[in-house]
Structure 1
Amino acid sequence: MSDQERLLIVDDDDQFCFVMERAMRRRGYEVSIAHTQAEALEAARQAPPDLATLDLKLESDSGLKLLPELLTVAPECRVIVLTGYSSIATAVEAIKLGAVNYLCKPADADEILHALDRNSGDVDVEIADNPPSVNRVTWEHIQKVLQEHDGNISATARALGMHRRTLQRKLQKRPVRH
């Protein structure tokens, strides 16, 4: 039995997994990699992780759907959600579903470990001087409606009054900066 903390990295990006695995092993963690929801649950059953990073947008699934299942298998695991597609709606849902933190990619090993280690909020967090742009507000609204429709693109497009392909194109783009 190892006294190293076990870290599960769930991400469909092979390069990210390779780099993060090396960085975390150098910091003394025992690391497992999973690229899919099924692989993540199997890895957690075989060796329950102490910590996990979970990509929000896995190739065929949402990390938000995996989060409660992962915590059922490994209830003591501290999970952070990582994403290149951040939105307020997904951040709120990730925390409600049991994540201890939510980080936007790119994030390095030190930022991830700091986020996993935080046990409370930061009352001194910086508040933006400017309101978000119209494009950012649009992105946030689309994410909220998508979340309300459980990731169903067709239902979301109908709710937003837009063509499904138009919505798909908008979702392929990276979120607009604040």
Structure 2
Amino acid sequence: MDRFLLIDNDESFTLVLARALQRRGFTTQSAHSDTEAIALAKGQSFNKAIVDLKMQGVSGLTLIPTLKQLQPQLEIVMLTGYSSVATAVEAVKLGATNYLCKPASTTEILSAFANTSGDVEAVIPEKRPSVDRLEWEHIQKVLNENHGNISATARALGMHRRTLQRKLNKHPVRA
């Protein structure tokens, strides 16, 4: 039986997801911060984890290596409403099994755990991403390179820190 560790600072989201997984016969535990998640991973055995990318004060990316060190067999799906190519690549490099954009159904999440190999038939978009989307992707890449440090990222981008914070508080632009 699969045991899921759900890590997201949105308590109502984790409650709904936990109920949906439990109705399908899975066991779940929820954590709403990085410290809660690490404590649960140290005390219990899980074989699957669903990790939110953007949590209060910390990136879900920082949790992946720690979780994999504590439980090497753990399969991780990164789930986010702030998707970017840079964070998807980093999540997989750090050990995530897959990466999904919110909103995602329970079926899509479970499929992400099953789909661990590449898809040569993946759809290639007809339209190039907009300039705004490319800017968002670049900001996310530089932010990741600076380990989430807003001031260092603003300096690297040649941008005022407040301007960068305003851009980061907006939702990602559509491709």
Query: What's the TM-score, normalizing by structure 1?
Result: 0.96
State the partner residue of 1:104: 101
Q: After TM superposition, list the pairs within 5 Å mapping 1:1-178 onto structure 2.
A: 4-178=1-175
1:119 deviates by 2.2
Are the aligned partners of 2:154 and 2:164 in contact in 1 as well (CA < 8 Å)?
Answer: yes
Q: Deviations over 1:111-161 (max 9, x none)?
A: 100001112111111000010000000000101111111111001111111
1:27 deviates by 0.7
Are the aligned partners of 2:75 and 2:96 in contact in 1 as well (CA < 8 Å)?
Answer: yes
Distance 1:153 1:119 in 2: 33
One-letter amino acid matched to 1:97: L
Are the aligned partners of 1:48 and 1:73 in contact in 2 as well (CA < 8 Å)?
Answer: no
Identity of aligned residues (%): 55
Query: What's the TM-score, normalizing by structure 2?
Result: 0.98
List alignment gaps of at least 5 residues for structure 1. none
List alignment gaps of at least 5 residues for structure 2. none
Q: Deviations over 1:49-106 (max 9, x none)?
A: 1100000011121111111001111110100101111111100000000001000011
- Superposed CA RMSD in Å reads 0.7
Runs of 4+ in 1 over 6 A off after TM superposition: none
Are the aligned partners of 2:98 and 2:116 in contact in 1 as well (CA < 8 Å)?
Answer: no
1:44 deviates by 1.2
